Amino acid sequence: KRQDATHKYCPGGTAICFSEFTVAAYNITYRIAIPEVTAAPFDILLQIQAPASVGWAGLAWGGKMSSNPLTLGWANGKTAVVSSRWTGGHSLPGAYTGATYTVLPTTTANSTWWQLDVLCKGCSQWAGGSLNPNGVNGLAWAKASRAVTTAASNTSAFSIHDGKAVFSHDFSQAKIPQGVFDAL
C-alpha cells in the first residue's frame, strides 16, 4: 500500500524548511530539501532521524529496491554513517559510486536517537530514472532492527529489512532558496 503523508517542517533557528515523511510504526522520519530548480539533476539535503533501536534505515530514490540509488544510514557511536548503495536485484546492495555525500556536522547519535544529515550529489538522476523537483515522486523506505555488521564502515554488510514501503513525496514542498542551500 502506498503511504502518502508528506508535509512541510521548518525547525526553529534555521532558514531550512524540509518536506518530511514519518514512518509512524517505527518513528523514523525522513526530511528532504532541494534547491529551487525546475529539472534534475539537483542536490538533495536528506535528514534521517530514527530511534536507537533501528539498526539501519534508508531510502530508495526510484521507489524500488533495484536499479536506483539507495541511501542508508546507521548509528556509529556518537555519530551516524551514510552508505551509498545500488543493487540489480533483491540481495545485499553493493557500493554505488554514482552518488556522493557530504555528511553535515549536525549528524549525531545518543542512547535513544540517531540523526543523519547529508547532502547528496547523484541521488536525483541515475541510469534509468530521475526525480521531478516540481511535484510528487514515488520513493521507498526500508529499515531493519538488527545492527549492521561493522558500524564504522560505510561498506559494511547488513541484514534484510524487517519493514519497507513505497510512499509519495512532494518535492515541490521541499524547495529552499539556492543561497540557503549553497551555505550548507
The residue among 27 and 134 lying less far from ligand HEM, judged by its C-beta, is 27
User: Do 101 and 21 meet the contact criterion of CB atoms below 8 Å apart?
Assistant: no
Query: Does 9 contact ligand NAG by CB under 6 A?
Result: no
Beta-strand (E) ranges in the chain?
A: 3-4, 7-9, 18-23, 28-35, 44-51, 56-60, 70-76, 79-86, 94-95, 100-103, 108-109, 113-121, 125-126, 129-130, 136-144, 163-170, 175-176
Query: Given the rule CB under 6 A, which residues bind ligand HEM?
Result: 58-60, 64-66, 70, 72, 85, 90-93, 140, 142, 158-161, 164
Instruction: Please report how close the Cβ of residue 158 comes to ligand HEM at its closest, in angstroms.
Output: 6
Separation between Cα atoms, residue 19 and residue 27, nearest integer Å = 16
Query: Of 88, 47, 85, whose CA–CA distance to 66 is shortest?
Result: 88
By rule CB under 6 A, what string of x and - marks binding of each residue 19-38 to ligand NAG?
Answer: --------x-----------
Q: Which residue has the cell 539533476?
A: 41
Minimum distance from residue 172 beta carbon to ligand NAG (Å): 27
Nearer to ligand HEM, 141 or 171 (CB): 141
Among 7, 64, 92, 110, binds ligand NAG (CB under 6 A): 110
With CB under 6 A as the contact rule, which of the stretches 9-17, 39-47, 111-119, 142-150 interacts with ligand NAG? 111-119
